[in-house]
Amino acid sequence: MQAQAFAPRLIAWQALNGRHDLPWQVNDPYRVWLSEIMLQQTQVSSVLEYYPRFVTRFPDVQQLAAAPQEEVLALWSGLGYYSRARNLHRAARMVVDAFGGRFPETREALETLPGVGRSTAAAIAAFAFNARETILDGNVKRVLTRVFGVEGWPGERNVEKALWTLAESLLPEDAASMPAYTQALMDLGATCCTRVRPACTRCPFAADCVAHQQARTAELPAARPKKVQPTRYATLLLACHGGRVLLERRPPAGVWGGLMSLPELPAGELSEAWLAQLGTGEVLPAWPEFVHVFTHFKLVITPQPVEVDALAPRAADDTRQWLTPEAAIEAGVPTPVRRLLEALSSGTLSVSHQIST
């Protein structure tokens, strides 16, 4: 893909397939700025409900600057990211007070307005002033990583820097086409090069797109690395006597809430209090620990078998029961507990580390 071929092909595509009737597609820096702020991390369909009301109430930057902040926030209510509204109001006052009521025309100067970062400033400069500045939003990152096969998560500093450089190298030569080109970048990402199931058959770059040619549109852009889950540790007690094992109903809230389970010793140690409850017996060697993964943490479980000399008295309610492993499984237990009970009933003396879910 030649860099100089990118913009003309994209603009030609946009002329026939792009969006041309969005209400903020006007040559007015105030309305462009307002729409760009509203569209930050917010989908077009949502902004379409708010933007008309806002420009009706505040037709120009002077009237916005003169309004009380509460009224601005009220019109923003429901859009989310309310610091955008506060910054919007501050920026309007800055335009009036510091720039004489006229928006600055360069990307660099626009970036001094609160709430206007590099990409938003570039969008305003390109749409309103034909500046040869590139945007780099989520749509553009997706298009560029796919077409040019850029590896790595775009949130990573080096990857993002490379994308800015790449995006700048693709700008059209003639400044007059900057509005159409910028809109085309957004439109391609929003309507064709979508996050899932992109419409590559309708894409002007399909023949050159690295992701499409390698059938890797699902892998590019690379997803955010998953956060390392916090680790918790627990000992699950396998108290056995006469072919039965002690089960305990867990508290209603929290992990495995309300389910029957093996008694859990939080500290990872076999406590004296627990042994006393069970009377006398023999503590057997612990089984190998294994990991159970939850959505928000991982639990390292140490199964601790104990052969007790007699069955402790059954509690009045059903919070504690001595059951055969088979009956316990039947009662409904969490998956890792079921695996342990299965190992117990099959007479296995140790559990493989491969137990996990």
Catalytic residue set: 36
Per CB under 7 A, 88 contacts DNA: no
The residue type found at 111 is E
Query: Any contact of residue 115 with DNA (CB under 7 A)?
Result: yes
Q: Which of 16, 21, 41, 173 binds DNA (CB under 7 A)?
A: 41
Pair of tokens at residue 7: 């913009």
Helix (H, G, I), strand (E, B) or coil at 302: strand
Given 95, 96, 128, 190, the residue binding DNA (CB under 7 A): 190
Question: How many residues sit in the footprint of DNA (CB under 7 A)?
Answer: 50
Which position among 7, 163, 186, 237 is part of the footprint of DNA (CB under 7 A)? 186
- Give bridge partners of residue 237 from the DSSP assignment: 304
The contacts of residue 235 (CB under 8 Å, 6+ apart) are: 264, 265, 266, 267, 268, 269, 270, 286, 301, 302, 303, 304
Point out which span in 9-17, 101-109, 132-140, 173-181 binds DNA (CB under 7 A): 132-140
- Binders of DNA among residues 45 to 84 (CB under 7 A) are 45-47, 78-83
* Terminal CA-CA length for the chain: 44
- Out of 138, 149, 152, 268, the residue judged to bind DNA by CB under 7 A: 138
Q: For residues 262 and 237, give the distance between their C-alpha atoms in angstroms, rounded to a whole number.
A: 6
Site string for DNA, 145-184 (x = CB under 7 A): -----------xx-------------------------x-
Kindly indicate which of the ranges 52-60, 97-105, 190-198, 268-276 contains the residues binding DNA, using the contact rule CB under 7 A.
Answer: 190-198
Q: Which is nearer to DNA, 150 or 187 (CB)?
A: 187
What 3-state DSSP class applies to 238? Answer: strand
Query: Is there binding between residue 196 and DNA (CB under 7 A)?
Result: yes
Q: Mind spelling out the 3-state secondary structure of 160-208? A: HHHHHHHHHHCCCCCHHHHHHHHHHHHHHHHHHCCCCCCCHHHCCCCCC
Min CB(7)–DNA separation in Å = 16
| Closer residue to DNA, CB minimum distance, 50 or 205 | 50
Of 277, 274, 250, residue with least CA distance to 261: 250
- Taking the C-alpha atoms of residue 174 and residue 157, their distance in angstroms, rounded to an integer, is 30
Amino acid at 335: T
Spatial neighbors of 262 by CB under 8 A, at least 6 apart, are 236, 237, 238, 245, 246, 247, 248, 303, 333, 337, 340
Q: By C-beta, is 183 or 235 nearer to DNA?
A: 183
Residue 139 binds DNA (CB under 7 A): yes
- Which residues fall within 8 angstroms of residue 121, CB to CB, at 6 or more apart? 107, 108, 110, 111, 113, 133
* Residue 114 makes contact with DNA by CB under 7 A: yes
Q: Please identify, among the stretches 3-11, 32-40, 165-173, 242-250, the one whose residues bind DNA according to the rule CB under 7 A.
A: 32-40
Residue from 52, 117, 251, 257 binding DNA (CB under 7 A)? 117
Residues forming contacts to DNA in the complex (CB under 7 A) are 19, 22, 24, 35-36, 39-47, 78-83, 87, 114-121, 137-139, 141-142, 156-157, 183, 186-187, 189-190, 195-197, 223-224, 226-227, 295-296
